[in-house]
Structure 1
Amino acid sequence: MNINTFILILTLMSGIALFLYGMMVMGDGLKQMAGNKLELILYKLTNTPLKGLMLGAAVTAIIQSSSATTVMVVGFVNAGMMKVTQAIGIIMGANIGTSITGWILCLSYIDGKQGIAQLLSTATLSAIVAIVGIIFRMFLKKDWQHALGNIMLGFAILMIGMQTMSGSVAPLKESEVFINALTSFNNPILGIGFGILLTAIIQSASAGVGILQALSVTGAITFGSAFPMIMGIGVGAACPVLLSAIGTNKFGKRTALVYLVNDMCAMIIGTILFYSANALLHFDFLNMSMSPV
């Protein structure tokens, strides 16, 4: 390994570290602002599957983690506060809500050259949010103000982490080895396996998608390779939920299993339908380079 490769890997890892820390700080700040309200809402508003689905999507969009939402639900089921049937709707909604993070991350790729675009650029946005956040955190007194400051600082750190990741991998667009490696993920089995492994290691589907978005700036990520990786990322998100079910009663374990089965079914059905349609229609966009959006 030469010094340039070492520096690239080190910079990429530091970007991932900042990204994960920013996401954690944001989530903790949001939960701190809500206090016990999240738990109370999850418990009370699940009397119909549709309500559960909408609630799961909304809560996950707020706290930026489908795993965290489902882990809370596992705890409620284990404590006897909620039935497994109530949990199913929330779990399905959580998988929808987790996609919001990817859209938030697209803000970090706004290329501000002039005018309003420059005001919305990552550097400007992150700077403003960080300055306001530190003022709330250090100079104001109330707990909710401190929590709001933490949310803002977490957001700024998350955006900087995304930029660090993107900047570190940008030179790889010239690397044939890297491009060939990513191209191999056009194989659905390899792509799904990579997505599961990546998410199992970093314990976050949102972070997995964020890393994929960062890699897309190289131009080497095609639709054909992105699709199976995202399918795998969805299944890998079940790992922290399964770990949380260790030591729970049979109902808690069933709830965690529902999360895994839901993700597995989505992956299997989605993959079969897509590649069956491709065999018949021969999609032209499979070799299209993907942008972060």
Structure 2
Amino acid sequence: MPAHVAALPADGERSTSSQWVSWLLVAALIYLLLAAVGAIGDGFKAATGNNAKQLFAFATNPFVGLMIGLVATALIQSSSTVSSIIVGMVAGGLPIEIAIPLIMGANIGTSLTSTIVSLGHVRNGEEFGRAFSAATVHDAFNILAVAILLPLELLFSPLQRSSEALAGLLVSDAAVDMKGMNFMKTLLAPASDTLGAAVGWIPGVWSGIALIVIGVALILFVVSAIGKLLRKVMVGRAKSIMHASVGRGPLSGMASGTVITVLVQSSSTTTSLIVPLAGTGVFSLKQVYPFTLGTNIGTCITALLAATAITGPTAVLALQIAIVHLLFNVLGIVLIYGLPFLRQLPPTIAVTLAGLAQKNKLYVVAYMGGLFFVLPLALIGFSQL
């Protein structure tokens, strides 16, 4: 064998090298995500001053906030993106009581992706029925969770109170600065200074608005790029976890849904992986159901990560809304899946919707367009009359 051929790196070495490059890119993108969230907070403060609450007066109706979160997530197709933006806005002055319905709406909006994926089976009636029910069980659960927890939140504020207590404990324990040094602030200072300088020439509140736009654009790019990179590195492993654990009971299914969503950084990707498997009969609706609940928990990691970008007096508020997102999903599972009389409601709704969809595909158009766009936009419009 010629010497130059023998010197070529083995496939395994190239693969390992490629994975290292991918993980370094993920680390760089996470840094950009943190910088982008900080930019939104800084821009929001610069643009609104002390008037953030007045700016969002139109959303003081919690149902309007819910609809805004739903439509925004359905359009962007990423609850991770929307929740990260909300964290930045809370850091900039958006009141927690307005942000909570926005977060709940994002939970509903993210389930549109799996419903779209189910359309890939539309030519085979039986497969389509299984795929559509596997997709819409996620919708039904998230809607039911909001229907139960939003009224409870409006009456007793359990999420706001408990998240405030937890955030206070975590920030007071974890954010003790050594000799006045703040690690995250120091780490993000180069990016913050660069972004600030980029809009520094823009006069008045427009510099703040420009910073918000840059922050949102960066989050859109980063969440998408991280998702693609992690899918490339982890999806094979994710499928192995899925096949090994989904059929072993509800707790195992929830755990695998959580882990895979953390690995690929997208609940939409995770549910999109399992819907085709449900359509072809690999997994039953009973097995898919707890798995999708795990994706709700896994997707909270992005908002928690984003909250670490915020420093100063608003750090506790940013962490609080991220904790609200986690508590909402955990409490929803405990209440709905934990109570037998509620547990079967989402699968029953999903099977009913799938039956209608199999009979007439116009039901699919009406369901997707009505739930995710027409109804929310109409409610927002009517609220302004």
1:83 aligned partner: 95
Query: Quick check: which has more Rg, 1 or 2?
Result: 2
Counterpart Cα distance in 2 of 1:108 and 1:226? 18
Q: Which amino acid aligns with 1:251?
A: L
1:241 aligned partner: 303
Counterpart Cα distance in 2 of 1:237 and 1:205? 6
Q: Which amino acid aligns with 1:183?
A: G
1:94 aligned partner: 106
Q: Within the alignment, does 1:183 sit opposite 2:244 as a pair?
A: no
**How do 1:111-130 residues align onto structure 2 when only pairs under 5 Å count?**
111=123
Q: Which amino acid aligns with 2:116?
A: I
Instruction: Tell me the TM-score normalised to structure 2 length.
Output: 0.42
Q: Which amino acid aligns with 1:108?
A: G
1:192 aligned partner: 254
SS of the residue corresponding to residue 77 of structure 1 reads helix
Q: Show structure 1 runs of 5+ residues with no match.
A: 1-38, 113-153, 173-177, 287-292
1:257 aligned partner: 323
Counterpart Cα distance in 2 of 1:71 and 1:88? 13
Instruction: Give the conservation status (yes or no) of the 8 Å contact 1:105–1:210.
Output: yes
1:58 aligned partner: 71
SS of the residue corresponding to residue 55 of structure 1 reads helix
Specify which of 93, 110, 118 is matched with residue 106 of structure 1: 118
Specify which of 231, 240, 244 is matched with residue 293 of structure 2: 231
Instruction: Give the conservation status (yes or no) of the 8 Å contact 2:73–2:106.
Output: yes
Q: Which amino acid aligns with 2:247?
A: T
**How do 1:1-293 residues align onto structure 2 when only pairs under 5 Å count?**
44=56, 45-80=58-93, 82-111=94-123, 182-184=246-248, 187-248=249-310, 249-274=315-340
Instruction: Give the conservation status (yes or no) of the 8 Å contact 1:50–1:89.
Output: yes
Q: Residue deviations 1:4-37, cap 9 Å, x none?
A: xxxxxxxxxxxxxxxxxxxxxxxxxxxxxxxxxx
Counterpart Cα distance in 2 of 1:243 and 1:179? 28
Counterpart Cα distance in 2 of 1:75 and 1:95? 18
Instruction: Give the conservation status (yes or no) of the 8 Å contact 1:53–1:90.
Output: yes
Q: 1:196–1:101: structure 2 CA closer, same or farther, 3 Å change rule?
A: same
Instruction: Give the conservation status (yes or no) of the 8 Å contact 2:271–2:295.
Output: yes
Q: Which amino acid aligns with 1:71?
A: S
SS of the residue corresponding to residue 220 of structure 1 reads coil
Q: 1:201–1:234: structure 2 CA closer, same or farther, 3 Å change rule?
A: same
Give identity over the alignment, percent. Answer: 28
Q: Which amino acid aligns with 2:323?
A: L
Instruction: Give the conservation status (yes or no) of the 8 Å contact 2:258–2:296.
Output: yes
Shift of 1:247: 3.0
Q: Which amino acid aligns with 1:188?
A: P
Shift of 1:223: 2.0
Instruction: Give the conservation status (yes or no) of the 8 Å contact 1:234–1:267.
Output: no
Q: 1:95–1:231: structure 2 CA closer, same or farther, 3 Å change rule?
A: same
More relative contact order, 1 or 2 (CA 8 Å, 6+ apart): 2
Counterpart Cα distance in 2 of 1:274 and 1:235? 21
Q: Show structure 2 runs of 5+ residues with no match.
A: 1-43, 125-223, 352-363, 365-385
Counterpart Cα distance in 1 of 2:120 and 2:285? 21
Shift of 1:181: 5.4
Instruction: Give the conservation status (yes or no) of the 8 Å contact 2:246–2:291.
Output: no
Shift of 1:252: 0.5
Q: Residue deviations 1:42-98, cap 9 Å, x none?
A: 963422111100110011100001111111110011112x11111001011111111
Shift of 1:268: 1.4
Q: 1:56–1:251: structure 2 CA closer, same or farther, 3 Å change rule?
A: same
Q: 1:50–1:190: structure 2 CA closer, same or farther, 3 Å change rule?
A: same
Alignment RMSD: 3.6
